[in-house]
Amino acid sequence: MSPSCHVALHYFPEVSSDVLRELSGFLFIIHRLKTPSDTVKPRAVVMSEPKAPTPAPGDTYKGWLFKWTNYIKGYQRRWFVLSNGLLSYYRTQAEMGHTCRGTINLATANIAVEDSCNFVISNGGTQTYHLKASSEVERQRWITALELAKAKAVRMQPESDESGDDSTPPASGQGAGSRNSEVQSTLRTLSSKVEDLSTCNDLIAKHGSALQRSLSELEGVRLGGETSEKFRQVTERATLFRITSNAMINACQDFLTLAQTHSKRWQKALQSEREQRVRLEETLEQLAKQHNHLERAFRGATVLPSSQSNPSIDSKGPVPVKGDASDEDDENEFFDACEDVQEFITVPADPKYHRRSGSNVSGISSELGMDDGTTSLDEQSLASNPESPQSQELVPVRKRRSRIPDKPNYSLNLWSIMKNCIGKELSKIPMPVNFNEPLSMLQRLSEDLEYYELLDRGAKCQNSLEQMCYVAAFTVSSYSTTVHRTGKPFNPLLGETFELDRVQESGYRSLCEQVSHHPPAAAHHAISERGWTLRQEIALASKFRGKYLSIMPLGSIHCIFEKSTNHYTWKKVTTTVHNIIVGKLWIDQSGEIDVVNHKTGDRCHLKFAPYSYFSRDVARKVTGVVTDKDGKAHYVLSGTWDEKMEYSRVMQSSRGGENGAEGRQKTVYQTLKAKELWRKTPLPEGAENMYYFSTLALTLNEPEEGVAPTDSRRRPDQRLMEQGRWEEANAEKQRLEEKQRTVRREREREANRTASPSEEGGHQDNYTPMWFERLVDPMTGETTHIYKGGYWEAKEQGSWDSCPDIF
Q: Which of 120, 138, 139 is nearest to 129 (CA)?
A: 120
Instruction: For residues 766-786, give the mean pLDDT.
Output: 89
Show Cβ contacts of residue 501 under 8 Å, excluding neighbours closer than 6 positions: 509, 510
Query: How far apart (Å, rounded) are the C-alpha atoms in residues 167 and 44?
Result: 8
Show Cβ contacts of residue 81 under 8 Å, excluding neighbours closer than 6 positions: 60, 61, 62, 87, 88, 89, 90, 96
Lowest-confidence pick of 367-381, 457-471, 598-612: 367-381
> Is the domain covering 60-155 a CATH 2.30.29.30 domain?
yes
Q: Provide the pLDDT confidence category of residue 306 given band limits of 50, 70 and 90.
A: very low
Q: Which of 597, 622, 611 is nearest to 476 (CA)?
A: 622
Is the model's pLDDT at 33 over the cut of 80? no
Omega before residue 519 within 30° of 0, cis? yes
Query: How far apart (Å, rounded) are the C-alpha atoms in residues 443 and 713?
Result: 9
Query: How far apart (Å, rounded) are the C-alpha atoms in residues 413 and 98?
Result: 41
Q: Which of 162, 156, 152 is nearest to 47 (CA)?
A: 162
What element of type H or E holds 20? Answer: helix 17-34
- Give how far Cα 692 sits from Cα of 320, 575, 685, Å: 19, 18, 10
Query: How far apart (Å, rounded) are the C-alpha atoms in residues 406 and 684?
Result: 13
C-beta neighbour count of 273 within 10 angstroms: 20
Contact yes or no for 334/613 (Cβ under 8 A):
yes
Which of the two residues, 394 and 426, has the higher pLDDT score? 426
3-state secondary structure of 534: strand
* Size (the chain), residues: 807
Instruction: Write out pLDDT tens, residues 130-189.
Output: 999 998 888 888 988 898 888 888 877 655 554 444 434 444 444 445 555 666 677 677
What element of type H or E holds 610? Answer: none
Which of the two residues, 666 and 704, has the higher pLDDT score? 704
Contact yes or no for 289/319 (Cβ under 8 A):
yes
Average pLDDT, the chain: 76
- Give how far Cα 91 sits from Cα of 117, 299, 512, Å: 20, 21, 50
Is the model's pLDDT at 31 over the cut of 70? no
DSSP letter, residue 711: B
DSSP letter, residue 583: S
C-beta neighbour count of 171 within 10 angstroms: 7
Alpha helices in 319-394 (DSSP H): 328-331, 351-354, 361-367, 379-382, 389-392
Which of the two residues, 399 and 248, has the higher pLDDT score? 399
What is the model's pLDDT at position 420?
Answer: 53
Q: What angle do CA 67, 344, 590 make, to 5 degrees?
A: 70
Query: How far apart (Å, rounded) are the C-alpha atoms in residues 368 and 390?
Result: 31
Instruction: Write out pLDDT tens, residues 584-638.
Output: 888 999 999 999 999 999 999 999 999 887 777 888 999 999 999 999 999 999 9
- Give how far Cα 140 sits from Cα of 64, 146, 297, 333, 587, Å: 14, 10, 45, 35, 47
Question: 667-671 and 603-608 as β-strands: parallel, antiparallel, unpaired?
Answer: unpaired
Q: Give the HSE-up count for residue 514: Cα atoms under 13 Å, Cβ half-sphere.
A: 25
What is the model's pLDDT at position 665?
Answer: 65
Task: Calculate what percentage of the chain has a pLDDT beyond 90.
Answer: 35
Contact yes or no for 530/391 (Cβ under 8 A):
no
3-state secondary structure of 603: strand
Which of the two residues, 631 and 352, has the higher pLDDT score? 631
What is the model's pLDDT at position 721?
Answer: 94
Q: Which of 271, 39, 38, 46 is nearest to 181 (CA)?
A: 46
Which of the two residues, 287 and 782, has the higher pLDDT score? 782
Alpha helices in 701-790 (DSSP H): 716-722, 726-754
Which of the two residues, 401 and 259, has the higher pLDDT score? 401
Contact yes or no for 111/119 (Cβ under 8 A):
yes
Instruction: Write out pLDDT tens, residues 734-756.
Output: 899 889 889 888 888 888 887 65
C-beta neighbour count of 291 within 10 angstroms: 11
343 — phi, psi (to 5°)?
Answer: -95, 5
Q: Which of 63, 111, 113 is nearest to 83 (CA)?
A: 63
Is the model's pLDDT at 53 over the cut of 90? no
Question: 74-83 and 344-348 as β-strands: parallel, antiparallel, unpaired?
Answer: unpaired
Beta bridge partners of 526: 510, 534
Query: How far apart (Å, rounded) are the C-alpha atoms in residues 631 and 369?
Result: 11
Q: Provide the pLDDT confidence category of residue 664 given band limits of 50, 70 and 90.
A: low
Looking at the chain, the domain(s) classified CATH 2.30.29.30 span 60-155
What is the model's pLDDT at position 220?
Answer: 66
Residue type, 765: D
- Give how far Cα 28 sits from Cα of 183, 200, 240, Å: 26, 11, 14
Query: How far apart (Å, rounded) are the C-alpha atoms in residues 438 and 691?
Result: 9
CA dihedral angle for residue 73, residue 79, residue 80, residue 81, rounded to 10 degrees:
-160
Lowest-confidence pick of 83-87, 237-241, 324-328, 558-562: 324-328
DSSP 414-451: HHHHHTT-TTSBGGGS---GGGEEEEEHHHHHHGGGGG
Question: 644-654 and 675-679 as β-strands: parallel, antiparallel, unpaired?
Answer: antiparallel
Give pTM, 2 decimals: 0.56
Instruction: Write out pLDDT tens, residues 404-419.
Output: 999 998 766 555 555 5
Question: 621-627 and 633-640 as β-strands: parallel, antiparallel, unpaired?
Answer: antiparallel
Looking at the chain, the domain(s) classified CATH 2.40.160.120 span 450-656+664-751+765-796
Q: Which of 296, 244, 292 is nearest to 640 (CA)?
A: 296
Burial of 98 per CB tally in 10 Å (0-12, 13-18, 19+): exposed
Q: Which of 804, 785, 801 is nearest to 511 (CA)?
A: 785
Q: Give the HSE-up count for residue 771: Cα atoms under 13 Å, Cβ half-sphere.
A: 30
3-state secondary structure of 472: helix
What element of type H or E holds 29? Answer: helix 17-34
What is the model's pLDDT at position 338?
Answer: 41
What is the model's pLDDT at position 419?
Answer: 57
* The listed CATH number (3.30.420.40, 1.10.357.10, 2.40.160.120, 3.30.230.10) that belongs to domain 450-656+664-751+765-796: 2.40.160.120
Residue type, 468: M
Instruction: Write out pLDDT tens, residues 181-239.
Output: 666 677 677 777 777 777 777 777 777 777 777 777 766 665 566 677 777 777 777 77
Question: 497-502 and 508-516 as β-strands: parallel, antiparallel, unpaired?
Answer: antiparallel
Ramachandran sector of residue 555 (left: φ over 0; alpha: ψ -120 to 50; beta: rest): left
DSSP letter, residue 154: H
608-647 exposure pattern, b = at least 16 Cβ within 10 A, e = fewer: bbbbbbebebbbbbbbbbbbbeeeebbbbbbbbbbbbbbb
The sheet that has 102-105: what strands, in order across it?
102-105, 86-90, 74-83, 61-70, 128-132, 118-122, 110-113
Q: Measured over all CA atoms, what is the biggest interatomic distance in the chain, rounded to whole angstroms?
A: 147
- Give how far Cα 306 sits from Cα of 35, 234, 313, 347, 682, Å: 76, 103, 11, 18, 15
Contact yes or no for 512/708 (Cβ under 8 A):
no
Instruction: Write out pLDDT tens, residues 540-591.
Output: 888 777 778 888 899 999 999 999 999 999 999 999 988 877 778 889 999 9
